[in-house]
Amino acid sequence: MFFKRFFTKGLAHYSYMIGDGDSLVVIDPMTDVSIYVEQARKANMKITHIFETHRNEDYIVGSLNLSKKTNADIYISKYENLGYEYGTKIGEEDIFEIGDIKIKPIHTPGHTKGHLAFLVTLKDENYMFFTGDALFFGDIGRTDFYGEENLEEMTGKLYDSIFEKLFPLGNHVLLFPAHGAGSACGGSIEEREFSTLGYERLTNQALNVSSKEEFIKKHGYMRLKPPYFEKMEIYNVKGYEDLNEIILNPFTIESLSDIKDKTIIDIRDNAAFVGKHMPNSIYFGVDNLSAYLGWLIGTEETIYFMADNLPDDIVKFAYLTTRRIGFENIGGVLGSGTIDKLENSGQALASIDEISAKDYFELCQQTNITVLDVRKDEELLDEDPVENRIHIPLQLLNENMGKLKGKENIVILCGSGERATIASSYLKKYNIDSKVIAGGIQGLNSLR
């Protein structure tokens, strides 16, 4: 039997290849599909089936691309009519024999109405289970995509899926979800490599309930939904163009006048951006691109990467991450030596004002300040040493800019300073001055 898991860094997405004999199945492929074709070539096997657990919202799925390259058949859920323009609809009665293994779809609604999970049996014994977004390592899938009016129903369906359909398959069954830690499709997914249904039953805190009613009360709530999710939902029923070729046009300082009014995303490290950056550029460390870019920048905008002296692999990672979440218009990259060349040519550079934790406490004694706290709701504590706080999670900064109108002496707080730098650069683009508390809440708490 052949098995391989693929992790899409930045999106915390898992996809899988499994097969036997000459045939391979791919489950929930990512957008750039050449990796699966290459893996099949190395294994001297043919990709014959492509399964989707559900319509994904957080990335563009690669099923149609992969099918065009391999002539593999695509299979989707028959339990929800979403207007798919590709794929064969399947249900629990359909069993696929791939060599000595059998793959059985199991309808597991909750995250979505038509959600499928895939049970693999080997020699007629339950062996492994691809749970999609129904059950994660230490967490469960969100149930709020159908609106607040359907929360109770969808959360109840997820309870039934987990407790009545998944767990009876056996504690020994290996668990393979569609996402790992950091995904927007789960709140507290744990960072680990493997699990079983039995281990999740024993340790998963999301499942630590005594009844279905308690489960609904615990998990039936609305969560933040990035604006780009709606675009992903459209792409993932129509299919999407190929994303295997990386096209990054280089820009020199002589051509900067052509893009000075465009959206420039600085993907260098935090310290480099704080020290020197192009005016009106917005900071996004590469590890934060998928988490926050789609909240603050519209996917229809043309963006340019300020990469300066970053290695090619990091620049390519930034490109792929943004394309995977629907940013189609990547204008180019400002590469090696750009910052030095700008400075040497006499052009003005900008910087971010930082204050230490000690400076913050001294500033609180001297003047009235406004603390813009961009952490998530669950990160805030009553004992935080913060005065005159305006809480706007970074994801919601764009739609809450009005709350900062007329505010002076704005200092921005997050966990460590990373998100605060993003927020400060975003505010500066809109002519709102601010300072970043270096070290974030960690620094403040160290001086209490």
Q: How far apart are alpha carbons 69 and 398 in whole angstroms? A: 40
Q: How far apart are alpha carbons 325 and 11 in whole angstroms? A: 9
Q: How far apart are alpha carbons 195 and 77 in whole angstroms? A: 25
Domain boundaries, the chain: 2-238, 250-343, 353-446
Burial zone of 43 (CB within 10 Å; 0-12 exposed, 13-18 middle, 19+ buried): middle
CATH of domain 353-446: 3.40.250.10
Candidates 3.40.50.2000, 3.40.1170.60, 3.60.15.10, 1.10.20.60; correct CATH number of 2-238? 3.60.15.10
Do 353-446 and 250-343 fall under one CATH topology? yes
Q: How far apart are alpha carbons 421 and 282 in whole angstroms? A: 9
Q: How far apart are alpha carbons 353 and 348 in whole angstroms? A: 16
Architecture of domain 250-343: 3-Layer(aba) Sandwich (3.40)
β-bridge partners, 415: none
Per-residue pLDDT of the chain (448 residues; tens, 9 = 90+): 999 999 988 888 999 999 999 999 999 999 889 999 999 999 999 999 999 999 988 888 999 999 999 999 999 999 999 999 999 999 999 999 999 999 999 999 999 999 999 999 999 999 999 999 999 999 999 999 999 999 999 999 999 999 999 999 999 999 999 998 766 666 689 988 899 999 999 999 999 999 999 999 999 999 888 888 888 888 899 877 666 566 677 766 666 666 667 899 999 999 999 999 998 899 999 989 999 999 999 999 999 999 998 998 999 999 999 988 989 888 889 888 889 988 888 888 999 999 999 999 999 888 889 999 999 998 999 899 998 899 999 999 999 999 998 898 999 999 999 999 999 999 998 899 999 999 999 999 998 7
Q: How far apart are alpha carbons 61 and 55 in whole angstroms? A: 8
Q: Please name the residue that has the structure tokens 């020290």.
A: 275
Question: How many helices and strands (H and E) does the chain possess?
Answer: 13, 23
Q: Within its chain, how far is the Cα of 273 from the centroid? A: 23
